[in-house]
Structure 1
Amino acid sequence: RRRTHVAQNTRHCHQKIRDFVDGVNSHIRMMKLPPGAIVNIDETNVDFDMPSNSTIDRRGVKSVSVRGTGCSQRATVLLGVSMDGEKLPPFIVFTGTRNGRVIREVTGDVGIRGFPTDVVMTVQKKAWVDNEVMLEWIEKVWRPWVASKFFDYSYLIMDCFKVHMQGNILDALASCKTEAEFVVAGYTSKLQVLDVGVNRPFKVYLSDEFNKFVIDNPAKNPSRQHVAMWISHAWKNLKAETILNTWRHVGFNFQ
């Protein structure tokens, strides 16, 4: 799914915010869920070309300019963070078809092809998260992750994106003993942990990776391997403290 910047209602109803947070916290306590079993996910766009507003070049160079690669390709990455500060493996969606060359490149033994091994990748014709891609995320990221934690139940907080709410998605989550919770429409900037305090520092780290690439490769377009590595490095650089502080800032707690 491709994200564009859409202004949200600046006059949020504080009672709606309070009711949602109180409802989530009450459910967490009632189900006696450990913080690691409570997760927020979100999709965010990643362009292969992300020039900054500031100039970049090697130290000592007299003339500098705003740089980019001119590459028009893009990807989507689905990120997830738990209430105890853990990060789920990034799930990267590149442009491609299910029986094409790119799907063979980004699946299987990807390490020998120069991809990081701490991300999971797939393709979609427009690099969006559709129903099929969401089911793939559940099977390749979510199901193994919750199984490794031995949780009795898990609690997944998402926005009201149509794909998240489809019946077969909810059934697949239920088969993982996961209950889905949907953030009040129009309130993700106040209630969704990734939107509130995680996506922005992640994008800053991602931009840093891009800038390093442009300086070292002034006449080269980035490959899928490069973009996957940027995402891997940026996600590693994101501190658990940032995640924990954002959950607390929104008002979520398990006590």
Structure 2
Amino acid sequence: MPITRAVIQLKALEIAKDLNIPPTEFKASFGWCRRMMRRNGLSLRRRTSLAQRLPSDFREKLLSYQRYVIELRKKQSYPLDQMGNADQTPVFFDMPTSVTVHKKGDKSVIVRSTGNEKSRVTLMLACLADGTKLPVPDFEMQDRT
């Protein structure tokens, strides 16, 4: 599981309570956490992964498509409220943070998770060219047992 500074601070307060250190003497502040991490060679690290890259001719293709749509609109006189755009995006049930506290200098940072980071639903987003956002339809989940 990813380790955040907040998790470290909570654990430090828990340990202080177990050691009978009064809360007036130890607060596990942000500054304490930062200094403790520095003393122990820890830093905030981003998990390592390969990022998707856009094609080298991305700008040319985008501009070409925009010109094509503008030309169609001029020829056909499409009103803006009749032109739309829609896209699907996944919403994951478990979205582990990409930042964790880890030893400085390590080349690879592995983050454990619950194993549900691939479980998802697909969300459809849609809007019209005049800026109208299309509403999400009401539906009931059907029991498929």
TM-score interval for Structure 1 and Structure 2 normalised by the shorter chain: 0.3 to 0.5
Larger radius of gyration: 2
Greater share of residues in helix: 1
Q: TM-score when scaled to structure 2?
A: 0.43
Query: Looking at both structures, which has the greater relative contact order when contacts are Cα pairs under 8 Å and sequence separation is at least 6?
Result: 2
